[in-house]
Amino acid sequence: MKGGFWRNFKIKYPESNLLYAKMMHVSNMVDLMDKKKDDYMAAQKELFMGQCNCPYWHGVFGGIYLPHLRFAVASHLIAAEVLAEKGKAKGAHYCISDYDCDTKDEICVSNSQMTVYFKPDRGGHIYELDYKPKRINLLNTLMRRREVYHNKITDTLYKDDLEQAKSIHDLMPSKQTGLEKMLYYDTYLKEGLIDHFFESGTTVKDVFKNEYREAGSFVTSSYNYKIDQGKDNVLIKLYREGEVESGGHRCTVRIIKEITIMDNAPLINIVYTIENHSKHICDAQFGVEFNISMTAGDAFGRYYYIKDRETIGNLAIEQELNSQNKLGLVDEWLGVEVLLDWNISGDVFVFPIYTVSQSESGYELVYQNSSIIPRWSLNIKPEDTWSVVINKSIKSL
């Protein structure tokens, strides 16, 4: 947890920097408000509550690893932002700016129902999705990363007399057993619209453990973009050429993802097109990763459903679903439902993201979010294309 200067935490934990950048952006919005109006005082109060330091760093009480702290701060910042936007245009509109202060521009699209932030230089991901009616960020996620104290969880201190052998757990208690079996680490932030190419035979367990091999070059690579401001929508076109390993060959393919956000609707429409620019058939497994953060994984009232609203389990299940064209996530405590649907049936990986962190009372396993990866088997001939349409909708319960 020792990070030197406080701002170093924003480097070690990019999620902390994103939260900090959001706070600074909202602070600037509030500062531009008419300070004589009551809304200014209300927005300022929400902003101040959103500046509580706890979730911006990893302190002795868990800090950034505790999703309810990040949730609370983000909720207050969104509330302040909504107040600052009051009286302004409600239709879909966009802005390009370096929101996270990394010298590279991000894209922000907003309407009356939601605000969506895109990161073109990092896989063309969605890194923040604010649902305004509930004041929540549905991408309040945290990747699994190695911490120095993780070594203590797996180490055992032996003495010559086995009866006196002590586990490190005796010195620093764990809130539950088996934490050493949950120490998996991610290589990218758990965001949305993450483009994967999987090798044949890759299982949900492989992806959950991050012990699979990526067959494409798209996950975190930079995408080009074009934006069209329509009369009642914003259309973002993200595109990139890269390579995919297929049958002993390297196929050059282009991914184009066109995202449409309409006026006054909590809906994201995504059209994926994959063009095969090589001389070989592109035979691969293509998947799009979505990460969605709810308040808990296995608590009452948090669950997945498929067609006909058939419940398949809580949000902490690890499962492969075959031949699906929709998947819903419900958090009854939040009063929110997220539905993903697509026009070509595909198999789906679902699994939770759990982190192992240290707090004042010991080591603990913490649910961060649920990962959903619909997948399709591709067999694209040279100079041919393949396409799928995905919708992501949000509603209040």
Q: What pLDDT digit, counting tens, does each position of 251-298 carry? A: 999 999 999 999 999 999 999 999 999 999 999 999 999 999 999 999
Say which residues have a Cβ less than 8 Å from residue 52's Cβ, sequence separation at least 6.
Answer: 69, 72, 73
DSSP-assigned letters across all residues of 68-106? HHHHHHHHHHHHHHHHHHTTS--S-EEEEE-TTSSSS-E
| Calpha distance 314→24 (Å, rounded) | 36
* Statement: residue 369 has pLDDT above 60: yes
Phi, psi of 295 (to 5 degrees): -80, -20
- b/e map of 35-63 (b: 16 or more CB within 10 Å)? eeeeebebbbebbeebbeeebbbbbeebb
For residue 59, what pLDDT band results from cuts at 50, 70 and 90? confident
Task: Decide: helix, strand or coil at residue 279.
Answer: coil
Confidence of residue 8 (pLDDT cuts 50, 70, 90): confident
pLDDT at 215 over 60: yes
Tell me which residue of 132, 314, 121 sits closest to 223, measured CA to CA: 121
Q: How far apart are CA 94 and CA 115, in angstroms?
A: 9
Helix (H) or strand (E) holding 396: strand 385-396
Q: Could you give the CA distance from residue 223 to residue 230 in angstroms, rounded to a whole number?
A: 22
DSSP string of 158-224?
--SSGGG-EEHHHHS-BSSS-GGGG----SS---BSEEEEEPTT--HHHHHTT-S-B-BS-SS---E
The residues, any chain, with a CB within 8 Å of residue 224's CB and separated by 6 or more, are 120, 238, 239, 240
CB 256 within 8 Å of CB 273 = yes
Q: What is the pLDDT of residue 157?
A: 36
CB-based contact 394:338 (threshold 8 Å):
yes
pTM: 0.93
**Residues 143 and 135 sit within 8 Å (Cβ to Cβ):** no
The amino acid occupying position 91 is: G
- The β-bridge partners of 97 are 106
Tell me, what's the pLDDT at 169? 44
pLDDT at 214 > cutoff 70: yes
Please give the helix or strand (H or E) that residue 26 lies within, else none: helix 14-31
Q: What is the pLDDT of residues 320-340, one digit of tens each?
A: 999 999 999 999 999 999 999
Statement: 179-396 belongs to CATH 2.70.98.10: yes
Cβ atoms of 209 and 303 within 8 Å: the answer is: no
Whether 274 and 254 have beta carbons less than 8 Å apart is answered as yes
Percent residues over pLDDT 70 in the chain = 94
The residues, ordered by sequence, that sit 6+ positions from 232 with a Cβ below 8 Å of its Cβ are 91, 92, 262, 263
Q: Provide CB contacts within 8 A for 200, sequence distance 6+.
A: 285
Domain ranges of the chain: 1-88, 179-396
pLDDT digits (tens, 9 = 90+) for 116-175: 999 999 999 999 999 999 999 999 999 999 998 899 887 743 333 444 445 444 456 666
Instruction: State mean pLDDT over 12-18.
Output: 94
pLDDT of 3: 52
